[in-house]
Amino acid sequence: MALASEAGGGAAAAKKAARREIIKALKALGDDAMAAQNAAIAARVLASRAFASARTVGVYIHCAKLHEVDTMPLLRDALAQGKRVYVPLVDDRNSNMRLLHIDAADDMRPAPPFGILEPSVSYADGSARENVMEMERPLDLLLMPGLGFDAAGGRLGRGGGYYDKFVRGLQQRAAEQGWAPPLLVALAFTEQLRDGGVPMEPHDAFLDAVVTPGALHLCSDAARRAEAGGG
């Protein structure tokens, strides 16, 4: 389970140490092993009831240089199924980002400094892309990246705070509209799942589920209901 929050620099030090360990393990993961894990994770997501029933889906775009789980097969499958898909656009270095609607994978272009694919701010006709925070329907599912995870829904990010800040905004908007909040689902290589838990602080968002090559870890009642077919 997630480790209890520690005061002051204790939590920061624990996170820093955990990040070093996980990054080292990911760098040691060979290309063939990574490809096999990517395929197994994608298969588990596609087989899940939560993904099948979601009409609106947020999908992070993976960064190969950071050894993140590849999301492109899931994005393409979601588009092929007719789901409404939203992907991140980083606005600045102050942990601000948006999720914008795309119609196709070709709507994205590499962005510096890591070459991660991002959408343009407008459609081909010049109109503004739909922003998740402005749409008149709930976001059903958000596939999230991260560096470390545990089976209780703990998530250790890379320190930028983008997703924690964004998720708080999503949850607040859902509450204001009377919607159920989106299911927060992380994708993780085996090397990213820590049996002893990950360090967590009060501002860190807990996940509803974590998908690894070997299992779909259901971490909340909402995720368990979704997989049972209860919505």
Binding site residues for substrate, as ranges? 61, 68
Euclidean distance between CA atoms 131 and 212, whole angstroms:
29
Q: Both tokens of residue 164?
A: 């924690």
| Coil, helix or strand at residue 226 | helix
Backbone φ, ψ for residue 149 (5° rounding)? -145, 165
Angstrom CA distances, 209 to 51, 117, 161, 218, stand at 12, 25, 19, 5
What residues form the annotated binding site? Answer: 15-19, 61, 68, 155-163
What residues form the annotated binding site for ATP? Answer: 15-19, 155-163
Euclidean distance between CA atoms 171 and 83, whole angstroms:
21
